[in-house]
Amino acid sequence: MIKINYLFFLLFLVSLATITFNSCSKKDDDKGKNPHTYDEGVTINGVKWATRNIDEPGTFATNPEDAGMFYQWNRKKAWANTGSVSGWYSGNLSGTTWEKQNDPSPHGWRIPTLSEIKTLFEYDKVTSEWITVNGVNGKKFTDFISGDTIFFPACGSRFFSGGTLVGVNVNGFYYSTTLHESKDDIVYYLNLLGTDASTNFGNGGTDGYSLRCVKNQGY
């Protein structure tokens, strides 16, 4: 009887050690991940979104409510989210999609398509509301089934003519990779206008908009 109890005790110690080791290993792995290049992401209606905007190319903003940087369509150049800028590009849109070499998304992520943005507006699967997070206005989308949420801050934009900053904390615009079907110089985007939200199209991609990426398949 004593031998049996001793055996169970040994097995218990081995199991406890394994659990402790795995737990510590997971914490060590998490500590090793750079918060500016790593994001857990959240799945809303089947699409896995990053929880933060893109900041400098290859990095995420620090917090979900942070603006990150502004980008023109199919260009990797990042523009500041405050103040004035110099050297603004006012030329014509180029390309027929957002090319991989121009994608500023961190590794394993990419700019969403129009179809992926539209999944946020399937109202039988996703709800949305205009909220304020740490003084920043924006739209929160919630998955019906999981209850998971994602927040898009209203960062404003930079106007195509000269890069003037407009609409901060009132409007928000997020580029897709998709051009209009019959207007090859017009781009689709996620539009946060006041308390409303929709997909829309306009400008020739030379406005500076925010970017929120989605997970690449295989990652």
Three-state DSSP at 173 gives: strand
What does the pLDDT look like over 82-128, one tens digit per residue? 999 999 998 888 888 899 999 999 999 999 999 999 999 999 999 99
Bridge partners (DSSP) listed for residue 201: 188
Side-chain-side CA neighbours of 19 within 13 Å: the count stands at: 6
**CB–CB of 168/70 below 8 Å?**
no
- The pLDDT tens digits for 118-174 are 999 999 999 999 999 999 999 999 999 999 999 999 999 999 989 999 999 999 999
Task: List the one residue out of 164, 138, 162 whose CA is nearest residue 150.
Answer: 138
